[in-house]
Chain A
Amino acid sequence: MEKLISEFSLGLFFWQSAIFIGLLFLLRKFAWKPILNAVNEREASIINALDSAEKARTQLENIQSENQRLLKEARKEKEILLKEALKTKNQIISDAKKEAQNETEKILSQAQDTIQSEKRAALKELKNQVGSIAIDIAEKVINKELENKDKQMNLVNNLLKETDFK
């Protein structure tokens, strides 16, 4: 201990303190502050960059899932539309069929009616013509029969004879 105290040099202590304190203040102003600021800034910017990258990633993920969702929805919609279209098509076809059938039936029944009425008219005409022809023939026959008066008379007489009046 005594040796330590005897070795202690006040001059060296003075210069050491002066140099060290001088160095401390110089470095503080010209080195440590700019260095630490730069390092802190860099770290902050790295953290920011990481944050924004993370944000961009989540955004991208969101967009992707949104896209996926939209795609799914579109597919669903398409399916629904297709189904509806199919339904409508079937509906239309069955409606058309039904209507066609109805129409056909209607036309057929109309045709039948027409045929019936035509037939009736034709029959009527035929009846009329047959009647007049028959009358004509009958007239002609009668005319021919009535030409021979004797014979007629005979016949009438015969008929009269046969018929007994009571």
Chain B
Amino acid sequence: MRKFLFKSNNLFYIVVIVLFCSPPLKAKDKEDSKDIRVEIKEYISHHLKDSYDFSFFSYTKKSGDHVYIGIPLPVIIWDNGIKFFSSSKLKHGEDVAKVGSNYYKLEHGKIYKTDSEGTIFYDDKHHVTNYAPIDFSITKGVVSMLLIAFLMFSLFRNLAKSYRETGGLPKGIGRFLEPIIIYLRDDIAKPNIGEKKYASYMSFLLTVFFFIWFLNLLGLTPLGVNVTGNIAVTFGLALLTFLITNFTGTRDYWLHIFDPLGSSMKWFSKILLYIVLIPIELLGLIIKPFSLLIRLYANMQAGHIVIMSIIGLMFIFKSWIGSPLSFGLAFAIAIIELLVAFLQAYIFTMLSALYFGFASEEHEKSH
């Protein structure tokens, strides 16, 4: 089993390398550069969003038809009962999908209920007014997360097993992963949370670190996934940090929020200050994880926009000087993004550990 996994891992890396070498963007052979600009812009904004199928690339035939190469994924929506159908029915928003007696259409990356013609109604602010059913589709992002979850489980399960086989020594890729685990324990968890309580937070910190890091790295492959640059994903991660922080909060932690001045002042003089202070402290509770979710989202989003824009420049320049230059620049930025991928995972984990540290803090005697 293990051998098989190892081989399949190798296969995975080979696939990644081959994809990385292949041209990431198929440009249309058109004279008008403004058209290309518009197309690149659309392409970028399309890429940044989650999508209903796992597309590898697309091109346009001479006749004007769009050809999409990829894997269709299941769409699950709640519209008076569960509707379950393949995303190939949506035809990338070019046609109406008929499911049972209902019609659905993809507009700006979202599924809306329409009539049989696929009419989309807009209000005066150009917002779609059609009914949007509750959407639980297995999208590209969900598939990526499942892929990473499977990868992580197999990697760390193997590492855990290898200790039993060799009597306490890591094997194979575990030799690379183990120092990172030890680093997280010794340089993130222990100093921020403290020797006494760090152990119970380790599972979350390790999982969140590797989850974000691997998803960031997957985002750098030409598979074109942008999971950690999606606000729903970072919101979910930050929400967990928020919940864990406040559910493990000690008496001292809450005392610090509702009585930050402690016994240094008489109660009647504190009241005036507390009218201002307590709302600020309460706001701080939310701002801390909120900064986490925005930071990760914005960094990954920005990285993807920059790389894709510079790759797009190649097709705008279309010259022997400009295109190689922008390729070099894209290459340099991609290397920086490799660092950012690690850095953002590190910062998220580090700050989570810091907040857990605040929550689990116990003073000998408060203030």
- Point out residues on A near B: beta carbons under 8 Å: 4, 7-17, 19-24, 26-28, 30-36, 38-39, 41-42, 45
B135 lies within 8 A of A10 (CB) = yes
Cβ of B136 within 8 Å of any chain A Cβ, yes or no, is yes
B137 lies within 8 A of A32 (CB) = no
Q: Which residue of A lies closest to B181 (CB)?
A: A35
Listed by A's residue number, 27 A-B pairs whose Cβ atoms lie within 8 Å are: A7-B49, A8-B231, A8-B235, A10-B135, A11-B137, A11-B142, A12-B139, A13-B236, A14-B136, A15-B141, A17-B239, A20-B208, A23-B152, A24-B203, A27-B153, A30-B157, A31-B157, A31-B159, A32-B156, A36-B185, A36-B199, A38-B160, A38-B163, A38-B164, A39-B182, A41-B168, A45-B168
Given A32-B206, A39-B181; A12-B141 close (CB under 8 Å): yes
Q: Which residue of B lies closest to A46 (CB)?
A: B168
* B232-250 interface (Cβ within 8 A of A): 232-233, 235-237, 239-240
The minimal Cβ–Cβ distance linking B159 to chain A, given in whole angstroms, is 6
Residues of B within 8 A of A15 (CB): 136, 138-139, 141-142, 145
Contact with A along B203-214 (1 / 0, CB 8 A): 110111001000
Residues of B within 8 A of A45 (CB): 168
Nearest 8 pairs between A and B by C-beta?
A: A31-B156, A38-B163, A34-B160, A28-B203, A13-B232, A12-B232, A16-B236, A11-B135
The minimal Cβ–Cβ distance linking B298 to chain A, given in whole angstroms, is 10
Bound together, the chains give a CA A7 to CA B141 distance in angstroms of: 14
The minimal Cβ–Cβ distance linking A93 to chain B, given in whole angstroms, is 75
Residues of A within 8 A of B206 (CB): 27, 32
B142 lies within 8 A of A12 (CB) = yes
B138 lies within 8 A of A27 (CB) = no
A12 lies within 8 A of B50 (CB) = yes
B231 lies within 8 A of A7 (CB) = yes
The minimal Cβ–Cβ distance linking B304 to chain A, given in whole angstroms, is 14
The minimal Cβ–Cβ distance linking B53 to chain A, given in whole angstroms, is 15
Q: Which residue of A lies closest to B168 (CB)?
A: A42
The minimal Cβ–Cβ distance linking B25 to chain A, given in whole angstroms, is 23
Bound together, the chains give a CA A86 to CA B263 distance in angstroms of: 88
Cβ of B178 within 8 Å of any chain A Cβ, yes or no, is yes
Cβ of B192 within 8 Å of any chain A Cβ, yes or no, is no
Q: Which residue of A lies closest to B143 (CB)?
A: A15
Residues of A within 8 A of B182 (CB): 39
Residues of A within 8 A of B257 (CB): none
The minimal Cβ–Cβ distance linking B273 to chain A, given in whole angstroms, is 31
* B200-229 interface (Cβ within 8 A of A): 202-204, 206-208, 211
B157 lies within 8 A of A11 (CB) = no
Residues of B within 8 A of A38 (CB): 160, 163-164, 168
Q: Which of A7, A16, A20, A32 has the most CB of B within 10 A?
A: A16
The minimal Cβ–Cβ distance linking B242 to chain A, given in whole angstroms, is 13
Q: Which residue of B lies closest to A36 (CB)?
A: B202
Q: Which of B145, B152, B164 has the most CB of A within 10 A?
A: B145
Residues of A within 8 A of B231 (CB): 4, 7-8
Cβ of B149 within 8 Å of any chain A Cβ, yes or no, is yes
Q: Which of A14, A20, A31, A42 has the most CB of B within 10 A?
A: A31
The minimal Cβ–Cβ distance linking A64 to chain B, given in whole angstroms, is 34
Residues of A within 8 A of B239 (CB): 17
B204 lies within 8 A of A24 (CB) = yes
Bound together, the chains give a CA A96 to CA B172 distance in angstroms of: 90
Cβ of B271 within 8 Å of any chain A Cβ, yes or no, is no
Bound together, the chains give a CA A9 to CA B211 distance in angstroms of: 19
Cβ of B230 within 8 Å of any chain A Cβ, yes or no, is yes
Bound together, the chains give a CA A39 to CA B182 distance in angstroms of: 8
Cβ of B343 within 8 Å of any chain A Cβ, yes or no, is no
Residues of A within 8 A of B159 (CB): 31, 35
B135 lies within 8 A of A23 (CB) = no
Cβ of B69 within 8 Å of any chain A Cβ, yes or no, is no
A16 lies within 8 A of B232 (CB) = yes
Residues of B within 8 A of A11 (CB): 76, 134-137, 139, 142
Q: Which residue of B lies closest to A29 (CB)?
A: B203
Cβ of B146 within 8 Å of any chain A Cβ, yes or no, is yes
Residues of A within 8 A of B138 (CB): 15
Residues of B within 8 A of A13 (CB): 232-233, 235-236
B230 lies within 8 A of A12 (CB) = yes
A9 lies within 8 A of B50 (CB) = yes
Residues of A within 8 A of B149 (CB): 19-20, 22-23
**Set B50, B134, B152: member contacting A27, Cβ < 8 A:** B152
Residues of A within 8 A of B204 (CB): 24
Residues of B within 8 A of A22 (CB): 149
